[in-house]
Structure 1
Amino acid sequence: METRDLVRIALFAAVIGALGLLPKFDLPFTAGVPITAQSLGVMLAGIFLGPRRGALAVLLFLFIVALGMPLLAGGRGGLGPFFAPSAGFLIGFVPGAFVAGLVMERLQKLPLIPAAIIAAILGGIVTVYAFGIPVLAAVAKMDIGSAALASMVFVPGDLLKAVVAGLVTEAVFRAAPQAFAGR
């Protein structure tokens, strides 16, 4: 791995952390899973860095959080969030970035904005929820259907983040095409 790759991985870990500075929103019926902007950073990490480097950026971010840095939305850090109802969503960030990067690579023939939106939806929403919902059910002692239903409140915001990811991707590609791993 080149120095440039390491810098980009660290940069996207920092972007995900910076998105944690935006306020989180807690809803009473989501069993402690907050609405945050950090999944946008996960989407962008996969889209910009590709599957492997995107997943590494998220792993770096989660490692720093586990060490105690309060980089999760609401100033959370340490090991506690990895045992909370939102733990599956955090864990799902890693495969989510990987899938977003993989989908982005596979959709080379599509225009950039739709490719990035599809990558963000499949990686940053579908994949992350596939990890988040079962862990939410287990930790919050809910049945899987109730956990899935409670998680649906996040879908509109996550779809909006996917559109933002598409628009940011297009804008950055126009300004600095060399910023992308796979295009």
Structure 2
Amino acid sequence: METARTKTSASARTRSVAFVGLTIAIMAVSAWVTVPLGPVPFTLQMFAITFAIVVLRPKEAIAAIAGYLLLGAVGVPVFSGMRGGLGVLAGPTGGFLWGYLLGVSAAVLFLHLARPGRGSGPARGPRPTAAERAALAPAQRAVAFLRAFGVDLAAGLIFTAVAYVCGCVQYMAVGQVDLMTAFLTAVAPFMVVDACKIVAAVICADAVKAVVK
């Protein structure tokens, strides 16, 4: 019995490490997909990180974004434009990167509070069985789906809002511009597109959670 528990625990740790490593790789690739749009480039990172927030366990999500930033800080070219180094983190757009860590932490805390005892990842807490879902009336299933989707969407918006605030503050400080200029340059052009990326990330994440146990 004890051997079985040990094997299960080791398997769970291996699975967790694999998820974190894969997520870091996805974050890096999403940063390399860059479209220049003024001083702040357009990337797919908001999609990738929101997806990670919804799919992974809280500790896994935080470990993934922390690992990503650490790799970038030591010079691995995982940031936008295939850049790396402390200079990127300290530059005018570096606040968004720091904001990712704070935003992920805030988002997973929200999910923890919104889903007590279950969390938001594929391995957290029991998912309703097919029989339990079938026992629900259509209206109840629709309400349950909308509630879960709304909670995930809110987590993505919380993450994005924190990243925006951090990015705007550092852009103001490093670029020596006022708040309105920083907002119009570093935040406003991205808001609609980022909102679409958040919705797409939640839809994809919910599909993954439905099949990854």
Whether these two folds match at TM > 0.5 is: yes
Q: How does 1:122-137 map to 2 (within 5 A)?
A: 122-123=158-159, 125-137=160-172
The yes-or-no answer on 1:27 pairing with 2:34 is: no
1:146 counterpart residue number: 181
User: Residue type of the partner of 1:129?
Assistant: Y
Secondary structure of the 2:81 match is coil
Residue of structure 1 aligned with 2:202, choices 166, 169, 173: 166
2:100 counterpart residue number: 93
Shift of 1:101: 1.8
Aligned counterparts of 2:191 and 2:154: Cα–Cα separation in 1: 14
Secondary structure of the 2:78 match is coil
Aligned counterparts of 1:166 and 1:145: Cα–Cα separation in 2: 30
The yes-or-no answer on 1:14 pairing with 2:25 is: yes
Structure 1 residues not aligned, in runs of 5+: 179-183
Q: CA RMSD in A?
A: 1.9
Query: Contact 1:46/1:98 (CA < 8 Å) preserved in 2?
Result: no
1:181 counterpart residue number: none
The yes-or-no answer on 1:65 pairing with 2:72 is: yes
Query: Contact 1:112/1:170 (CA < 8 Å) preserved in 2?
Result: no
Query: Contact 1:45/1:97 (CA < 8 Å) preserved in 2?
Result: no
Residue of structure 1 aligned with 2:91, choices 80, 84, 95: 84
Structure 2 residues not aligned, in runs of 5+: 1-11, 116-143
2:154 counterpart residue number: 118
User: Residue type of the partner of 2:88?
Assistant: P
Shift of 1:56: 1.5
Instruction: Number of aligned residue pairs: give it.
Output: 172
Query: Contact 2:50/2:202 (CA < 8 Å) preserved in 1?
Result: no
Aligned counterparts of 2:202 and 2:52: Cα–Cα separation in 1: 12
Shift of 1:53: 2.4
Deviation sequence 1:97-149 (CA, Å, 0-9, x none): 122222233333763322221111111x1111121110011111111222122
User: Residue type of the partner of 1:97?
Assistant: V
User: Residue type of the partner of 1:133?
Assistant: C
Aligned counterparts of 1:138 and 1:25: Cα–Cα separation in 2: 24
Aligned counterparts of 1:102 and 1:51: Cα–Cα separation in 2: 8
Q: Percent identity?
A: 27
Shift of 1:70: 1.3
Aligned counterparts of 2:210 and 2:53: Cα–Cα separation in 1: 18
If the length of structure 1 is used for normalisation, what is the TM-score?
Answer: 0.84
